[in-house]
Amino acid sequence: MPARERPGEGGKARPTSKSPYTEIVTPALLAIGRGELNLEAVVGALSGAAPGADGAVVTFLGLVRNHNAGRSVRYLEYEAYEPLALKAFERIASEIRERWPSARLALHHRIGRLDVGEASVAIAARSPHRGDAYAACRYAIERVKQIAPIWKREFFEGGDVWIEGATADPDDDCARAEAERAACV
Amino acid sequence: MRVTVKLFARLRDIAGSPELARDVAPGATIGSVWRELAREFPELARYERSISSAVNTDYARMDHVLSDGDEVAFLPPVSGG
């Protein structure tokens, strides 16, 4: 599905000229693209590393809402600076490894036109205990909103507007601390 | 030397193009490219304090000195998720 992706841990290589057989491809841990999101694939991307040691998977699915700031939303159009968005996702995964060493992250973001009710982002966090998985999952979505170079244009009844949220500065420690506070409530 | 400028979201709408090629003097920084653009497209000026910038798909500061062939990106406040 994704236009750009990083291979999942333990993923098998895609077919090469040396192998005439199609191998099983583990879904990417981090991806951005135009295809519909599949939460099972996002969860599946985390199944490789230590399947017996983990006791929790927490998932988050972000959906296109039919209302925003008093407007009736018809649909959204997402665009991204894709290579930098993937690097931002990698940074978020690495921040999570630092803060919750036992937790692992998978994150897929969709771009293009999304209708009301469709999923724009799918996140899974997996760890031995639920506390870290919940925290890592919440932290990931907060950080996506802060630093991923992705934009949504809202088409509503009567017009359209680019939504402008956080100033993307990955080195802003206050923003990072804010995401951590949200994750640890 | 020549750099490619990539613009996103509202910045792209203002400039009317997602990508511009610009000739710049040696020693040019991201900031000097931005100021030049803001002169060309005055509506960009109000983003001065809220944009982020990147060079060759890595975040970089406005005082970063550019090289020939660099890809400079200007990013308005983000709204993913």
Q: What is the CATH number of the domain that holds A161?
A: 3.90.1170.40
Q: Is residue A142 part of a domain?
A: yes
Query: Touching check for B77 and chain A: CB below 8 Å?
Result: yes
**B77: closest chain A residue by CA:** A167
Q: Is residue B80 part of a domain?
A: no
On whether the CB atoms of residues B74 and B19 are closer than 8 A, the answer is: no
The separation between CA A124 and the C-alpha centre of its own chain, rounded to angstroms, equals 8
Widest distance between CA atoms in chain A: 57
The verdict on a CB contact (< 8 Å) between B78 and A84 is no
Q: Is residue B46 part of a domain?
A: yes
Q: Is residue A23 part of a domain?
A: no
In total, how many domains does chain A have?
Answer: 1
Residue range A64-92, pLDDT digits in tens = 999 999 999 999 999 999 999 999 999 99
Q: Is residue B67 part of a domain?
A: yes
> Residue A79: which of B8, B51, B57 has the nearest Cβ?
B8
Domain CATH code at residue B12: 3.10.20.30
Tokens found for residue A169 = 């500065």
Classify the C-alpha dihedral A181-A132-A86-B61 as positive or negative. Answer: positive
- The complex scores an ipTM of 0.96
Q: For residue A160, which phi and psi values (nearest 5 degrees)?
A: -150, 155
Q: Is residue B81 part of a domain?
A: no
> What is the DSSP secondary structure assignment for residue A53, as one 8-state letter?
T
The C-alpha of A108 sits at a distance from chain B's nearest C-alpha, in angstroms, of: 10
Distance between CA B37 and CA A20 in Å, rounded?
A: 52
pTM of the model: 0.90
A2 or B73, greater pLDDT: B73
Distance between CA A58 and CA A46 in Å, rounded?
A: 11
On whether the CB atoms of residues A80 and A151 are closer than 8 A, the answer is: yes
Tokens found for residue A63 = 């959906």
Average pLDDT, whole number, for chain A? Answer: 89
Q: Is residue B16 part of a domain?
A: yes
In total, how many domains does chain B have?
Answer: 1
